[in-house]
Structure 1
Amino acid sequence: MKRNVIIILIAIGIIAIFLKSSLYVVDERLQAVITQFGKPVRTTVVHGLHVKTPFIQDVRYFNKRILNWTGDISDILTRDKENIGVASWARWKIVDPLKFYTSLGIEARGQGLLDEVIESAVKNVVSAYPLKEVLRNSNRKLEYTTKELEVAEETKKVIIKKGRDEITAEILAMARRSLEDRYGIELVDVRIKYINYVAAVIPKIYDRMRSERIRIANKYESEGRREEAEILGTMRKELERIESEGYRTAEETRGQADAEAIKVYAEAYTKAPELYSFLKTLETYKTTISSQTRLILNTDGEYFRYLKGFEKDVGAVEAWSLE
């Protein structure tokens, strides 16, 4: 009895080993290549349970999903001699696992192959175009922070003939020709994810930008000085006009006042000539004689007569006050 149980268990073990060696499962995310003594014989892309020859055949699995590839930054000299760094990314998948297995063997080698093929295509295509073509997609008018930058850009007369999308499509087409027929790889898409000047050139770019901003600032400053001179000139002209009008008005007023005074003096003289003469004498004394004045007069002079007359008048006033 014991012996029969052992035989049954051995038979079950042999059957289990046989089934394990002859059956394999393909996940819906994978595809398989069946090899016989290391050589591929067929592929299995349908998911589910499948049969193979036990012990002499083996299964290699490959991803059926779209895979990601990310490239490093490559230094590229564009057609207009701009030294830039470009990095790209791609999506790819294995469409012929048998061809992929015979040419590359594992997915890691596929990633390495894409490093060479895609980066080579990027360099070949990007170097054939000026930088503006790689950066822009169309001739759409760009918005600038200052009018001067917009004018400076317009003077360059940049015309986009293809644009970035068509350039990436050209990169994709060039890379596909090198992959699908030979390696069983389909390159789904290629895109440029990074563009910048290389580190050695960036300081020069900043210097060029700084000089451009300085030029614009100097232009604003010169325009400001010109407007300042215009404003000051207008102000001085207006001030001179106001002063001229004020002087003219003052002279007119002074002339009218002098005429009025002369008229008053004339009327006073006609009405009381002696009083007028007396007042004029007092005014003459006030303006010509001080405590430091020393006069030498002719006895026949009018001025001497006024002074003598003034002494008589003063003596008469003093005598009257004593009485």
Structure 2
Amino acid sequence: MNRIGLFFASLLVVVALVSSTLFVVDQRQFGVVYALGQIKEVITEPGLHVKLPPPFQNVTYIDKRLLTLDSSDADPMLTAEKQRVVIDWYVRWRISEPTDYIRNVGQNEAAGANQLNRVVRNAFQEEINRRTVKELLSTKRDALMTDVKREVLEKVRGEKPWGVDVVDVRITRVDYVEAITKSVYDRMEAERKRVANELRSTGAAEGEKIRADADRQREVTLANAYRDAQKIKGEGDAEAARIYGDAFGRDPQFAQFYRSLEAYKSSFANKSDVMVVDPANSEFFRVMRNGGSSAPSAKK
């Protein structure tokens, strides 16, 4: 039994020793082998690899993929005309030389991100100080990002290279600080209200002008219609008078009788009409006294 236990114990020790000498490098990572704290080897190819067991050799991993660094602060920057603006940006970068990166930056991606954030912000500050707000919002924005990328590359590729490659630098937002933004919005609102009031005033003036013109045309139309109506009425009255004259001229006695009947009809139109006259001496009742003849009766 002791021999069997010793065998299994020895087997476990061998397995542990072998497993400590083998490691796998993922295709998304660099494998860095350390020998007593010094970089012994950088493995760039994925697969199964062999090293000495600890503490003689250790292995760490560094991401080789394209990384994204977003701006993390909102401190304002001054433009050429001393306007305070806040920008949001991001950087696409990757670790290209693990040895230089570990020696000059750090042993993980966070160390590179922290230092790169400071370098990029300083580059943006320097370039924005040379430009106006209009230039930041115009087509010169691309030139700004190109200049920032150039300055960052000069920094990371200096006397002590970082072992990183900066692929792209982009601005996602340019805005005034909150106090200035509120002031700008207030001015925009006031300007829009002024334009709206101006348009309302212009519309009201045009409306009054149209209504005045319509009233004038209405008065002119009514006056012309009244004039034409009076003219037609006068012509009708004249024609009626002529016809009456022609008709009554043929038999004056009948005409006198007809007019008297019309006068009687108008005088006694209502049952409540009362007329106080002397029929015997009144010229108004001559037709009735003469039995239908309007001529005075001959004396015998």
TM-score after normalising by structure 2? 0.72
The yes-or-no answer on 1:220 pairing with 2:183 is: no
Aligned CA RMSD, in angstroms, stands at 4.1
User: 5 Å matches for 1:177-256?
Assistant: 177-181=154-158, 182-256=161-235
CA distance in 2, matches of 1:8, 1:277: 160
What is the match of residue 84 of structure 1?
85
Amino acid in structure 2 at the alignment position of 1:194? R
Give the match's secondary structure for 1:193: strand
Whether 1:168 and 2:167 are equivalent positions in the alignment is no
- Counterparts of 2:34 and 2:88 in 1: how far apart (Å)? 38
Residue 95 in 1 paired to residue 72 in 2? Answer: no
For residue 29 of structure 2, what is the aligned residue in structure 1? Answer: 30
Name the aligned partner's letter for residue 132 of structure 2.
P
Q: Indicate conservation of the 8 Å contact 1:31/1:61, yes or no.
A: yes
Distance 2:219 2:46 in 1: 100
> Given that residues 77 and 84 in structure 1 are in contact (C-alpha distance below 8 angstroms), is that contact kept between their aligned partners in structure 2?
yes
Report the Cα offset of residue 292 of structure 1: 10
Q: Once the two structures are superposed, what CA deviation does each residue of 1:256-306 show, in whole Å capped at 9, x if it has no partner?
A: 12312332343355334455567778889989xx9799xxxxxxxxxxxxx
Partner residue in 1 for 2:127: 125
- With over 3 angstroms needed to count, the CA separation of the structure-2 counterparts of 1:54 and 1:275, relative to structure 1, is closer
> Structure 1: which 5+ residue stretches go unaligned?
137-159, 294-306, 318-323
Cα distance in 1 between the residues matched to 2:95 and 2:101? 7
Give, in whole Å, the separation in 2 of the partners of 1:250 and 1:169. 86
Match of 1:298 in 2: none
Rounded Cα–Cα distance in structure 1 between residues aligned with 2:34 and 2:99: 10
Q: Which amino acid aligns with 1:171?
A: V
1:73 and 1:222, CA in 2 relative to 1: closer, same or farther beyond 3 A?
farther
Report the CA distance shift for 1:313/1:105 in structure 2 as closer, same or farther (over 3 A): closer
Provide Cα deviations, 1:237-271, integer angstroms capped at 9, x if missing partner: 32123112211211211211231233234335533
Q: CA deviation at 1:88?
A: 1.4
Moved more, 44-53 or 164-173: 44-53
Q: How many pairs were matched up? A: 279
Q: 1:282 to 1:24 in 2, by over 3 A?
A: closer
- Distance in 2 (CA, whole Å) between partners of 1:263 and 1:235 is 41
CA distance in 1, matches of 2:168, 2:285: 128
Task: Call closer, same or farther: CA 1:31–1:292 in 2, change over 3 Å.
Answer: same
Say if 2:36 and 2:55, in contact at 8 Å, map to a contact too: no
CA contact 1:40–1:102 (8 Å) conserved in 2: no
| Structure 1 residues 62 and 180: CA distance shift in structure 2, 3 A | farther
Q: Retained in 2: the 8 A contact 1:73–1:85? A: no
* AA of the residue aligned to 1:180: R
Distance 1:276 1:23, change over 3 A: closer
CA distance in 2, matches of 1:246, 1:12: 124
After TM superposition, give the deviation of residue 172 of structure 1 in Å.
1.7
Partner of 2:62: 62
Separation of aligned partners in 2, 1:272 and 1:225: 69
Alpha carbons of structure 1 residues 45 and 274: separation in structure 2 relative to 1, 3 Å: same
Task: Write the distance in 2 (CA, Å) between the matches of 1:73 and 1:240.
Answer: 74
Unaligned runs of 5+ in 2: 268-272, 292-300
Cα separation, 2, equivalents of 1:11 and 1:243: 123
Asked whether the equivalents of residues 87 and 193 of structure 1 are also in contact (C-alpha less than 8 Å), the reply is yes
1:309 positional shift: 4.2
Q: Measure how far apart 1:26 and its partner are.
A: 3.4
SS of aligned partner of 2:178: coil
Q: Deviation of residue 31 (structure 1)?
A: 1.9
User: How far 1:229 sits from its partner (Å)?
Assistant: 2.5
